[in-house]
Chain A
Amino acid sequence: MYIILAILVCAFYGFYIGKKKPLRLIQNKDLTKLNSSPNYHGYYVFLWCLIPAIITFLTLNFFSNFLIKQIVLDLVPEIESIAKTNIEFVYNQIKTMASGTADAFSADEKLIVAAEKYNELISISNASIFVICICLSSFLLIFIKKKINLEFPARKKVEKFIKLFLLICSIVAILTTVGIVLSLFFESLKFFKQIYFFDFIFGTHWSPQIAIREDQVGSSGAFGSIPVLAGTFLITLIAMFIAVPIGLFSAIYLSDYAHKKVRSILKPLIEVLAGIPTIVYGFFAALTVGPFIRMAGESIGLDIVSESALCAGLVMGIMIIPFISSLSDDIILAVPQRLKDGSYALGATKSETMIKIILPAALPGIVGSILLAVSRAIGETMIVVMAAGMSARLTANPFEAVTTVTVQIVTLLTGDQEFDNPKTLAAFALGLELFILTLFLNLIALRIVKKYREKYE
């Protein structure tokens, strides 16, 4: 920590020096002689003192930690016989002992030696990193200061750096996607080494619980993802049955019938539905909607379980309404007024204009918004985890409990995680499936909406 502080002090001193030097060079305080304002000279020196030293600090720190770990662990002779995960544990033990918080008396003799060695090495490496970084920083300070003269284009150079920095920031978005794809891909690859790929894609039996002993029932586990996907689509379909008509009619009413003032109140109110955390919907579904549906079913002689596809789909549909209504509302409003005027001039009523003129014109955009809503419904987690149940069965009956991709990911990963077991890895394969599915939907939807916007803008 103090190393960064020292580098910062050096950099701020650099800023001061960099700012003073051009002021000393010019006579009569005639700033027009300078290429850039003195502040930019300051920034220039500041950046040169700061960035290389910080980068050096981070790389050196990384390597020294790596080296120290190797050296210290070599002092514990039984290390070869310990499993890989336990090495981390032993190393952490040494570290806590080195910091003096652990009880040294109860520990192994060799661990104490290792802890002492660790302390010694850490102080050596910290001191050397400190010296290297400060030397680098001050060397650059002197060197850059020499470069500064009246014609020096400090502003251009600083701006170039800022632009590079901005570019790096926007690349973070790409890195995130790359990270998602790579992490899902490699973990899935491990999974497909143990489970045949087509068994996963086309298998119709899903029971990931692998028995501990070989001779127990279900010792192999079954990883056919079709029932899981079927459950996901069933719930999404129910949600869309609720959300599409209601969302669309809300959008039509808001955009064409409601008074401007009424609209400005109603629209945000409906959007509140989208702002409520999904965990709240999940709790609502499990606590109120599920029992309500079961009671309603009993009263008409139907046997419905509390955790049914209907319950999850219904609540998810309510959550999705604003996604459809808001976007469709914008899209309907974007239909040019002249189309409406033409229709009204021919004597059509509002509803006729809406159905025959506006909706066909707005159709691509509305389809786009529905696809985005579908993608959200497929990836929705908390509602289905709390309200849809776990049983993976291949059914189209909305009154039965079904499971979804997201529910299975949560159940597979919230227990003990073993990254050599297909049970844990299956979660990543499901995640990859989910990612690809939603990626397709998103790309198509975004493309349609964008095309539509361009058409009328």
Chain B
Amino acid sequence: MSNIIRNDILTPVSSKRTTKEKLFKICGLSAIIFALSMLVILFTTIFSKGYSAFYQTRIKLDINFNEELIDPTGAREITTLNTADYSKLISQSLFKFLNIDKSHPKSSEIKSLISYNSFLTLRDRVLNDPDIIGKTKKINLIASDDVDQMLKGNINISIPEENRKITDFQIEAIEKFKSNGNILTVFNKTLFTKSDSREPEVSGVLGAIIGSFYCLFVAACISVPIGIFAAIFLQEFAKKNKVTDFIEININNLAAVPSIVFGLLGLSVFINFFHLPRSSPIVGGLVLALMSLPTIVIVTRASLLAVPGTIKDGAIALGASKMQAIFNQVLPLATPGICTGVIIALARALGETAPLLMIGMIAFIPDTPIAITDPATALPAQIFMWADHPERAFVERTSAAILILLSFLIVMNAAAIYIRHKFEKKW
């Protein structure tokens, strides 16, 4: 007998076997730790790169609204006020503060401390309140992205001057502003109230958020009813035959088709065949709808299946038709599960980028879309475009846009989990 039974099986605590067992367990544990640490690294990198975009540097300047410069005739006509040279007001104020002359060789370096678009702030101020002309006011102007990045410590000022984006003379000026308390750090409202721009300091994600919202709205309007109805048909009414088998295989396969293929479909069918406007949220929404449809069908079927058949039988026994039993009894009971699935499917659609690239939603669009047929961009597409810009300020904004996108996703998923825990019945 002892020849047949190997020694190590007879002794259950043989050291070789226990080490093997321990090793196996450690492998499993380290796999999980690896996966989770990757998650942590991902979030911390994005967060550490992006949080600084939520505040922004402003420079407080005494602006003299010189009447001779803005409106020499004193007639206060809108066109004169609109076309006045407001950037001159800014540069005058800058020169006055720093005690330099207009003819100073480095005066253009000083001008570029303030964001190029700041004259618009002054113009709006004057148009809102023409009485301001002739007075001197303290106004906070957005600093240029280089100043902002330097103050956030993202520009290494110890390297030679010609290798960095900010000159010694500019640093000197910034120090002077700083010591006078004229540098302010405020919450970056621009990020949420403006759309894309060439200048990083005045670019924001509002247009992209609205574009994403429109896309999601169109997608939900189409895919949710169709998906739920299709699932009801397949789960409750379809007879087991070749056709329903085919539909089922189809749906399962569609759920695993690469998203970029849906983009190609959108391009050749919706844009080239139906001539819907390119880059518009309606096309984006249609593509996302087709993409999330299979997921919605699958989760709806699972929720319908989870409702015990006795409920339907009970309703039918009381004289309800099959249709009434399903729509009045089974469907309401399956609703929490369906809601959860739908929200998760839409959250996935919200983060989808590849199909949007195919239908041209990555154009530079500085306007905020009004209608669903306007050219627009979406949040993930905006992230993709910003990620391509070399400026350090855009890296920061890309990360911030990712944080905004992730917070939307977290809210949606949290809602899904809440609904599942709160309303779902266990049978």
Contact = CB atoms under 8 A, between A and B. Distances in A.
Contacts of B380: 277, 279
Contacts of A442: 252-253, 256-257
A250 B31 contact: yes
Nearest to A186: B268
A166 B261 contact: no
Interface stretch (A44-52, A170-178, A395-403): A170-178
B293 A173 contact: yes
B169 interface: no
A311 B39 CA distance: 16
A312 interface: no
Given A162-B323, A406-B260, A88 B402 contact: no
Interface string A142-183: 000000000000010001001101110111111011011001
B406 A413 contact: no
Nearest to B268: A183
B246 A174 contact: yes
A279 B353 contact: yes
Contacts of B264: 180, 183-184, 409, 427-428, 431
B402 A318 contact: no
B352 A277 contact: yes
A21 to B, nearest CB: 22
Contacts, number: 251
Interface stretch (B54-62, B224-232, B307-315): B224-232
A186 to B, nearest CB: 8
A170 B229 contact: yes
A322 B35 CA distance: 9
B31 A179 contact: no
A431 B357 CA distance: 14
Contacts of B246: 174
A435 interface: yes
Given A406-B354, A434-B260, A280 B39 contact: no
A322 B45 CA distance: 21
Task: Give the secondary structure class of B's interface.
Answer: helix
A283 B49 CA distance: 11
A246 B35 contact: yes
Interface string A372-383: 100110111110
Interface stretch (B18-26, B94-102, B108-116): B18-26
Interface in A301-329: 318, 321-322, 325
A379 B31 contact: no
B186 interface: no
Interface stretch (A6-14, A121-129, A345-353): A345-353
A53 to B, nearest CB: 21
A447 B402 CA distance: 37
A327 B75 CA distance: 75
9 contacts: A165-B229, A172-B230, A174-B247, A249-B30, A270-B32, A283-B398, A381-B260, A434-B261, A446-B252
Interface of A: 88, 155, 159, 162-163, 165-167, 169-174, 176-177, 179-180, 183-184, 186-187, 245-250, 252-254, 257, 266, 269-270, 272-273, 275-284, 286-288, 318, 321-322, 325, 347, 349-352, 354-355, 372, 375-376, 378-382, 385-386, 406, 409-410, 413-414, 419, 427-428, 431, 434-435, 438-439, 442-443, 445-446
Given A352-B20, A409-B260, 14 more contacts: A163-B323, A169-B230, A169-B233, A246-B35, A249-B28, A269-B36, A270-B39, A272-B39, A276-B406, A287-B49, A350-B24, A431-B260, A435-B258, A442-B257
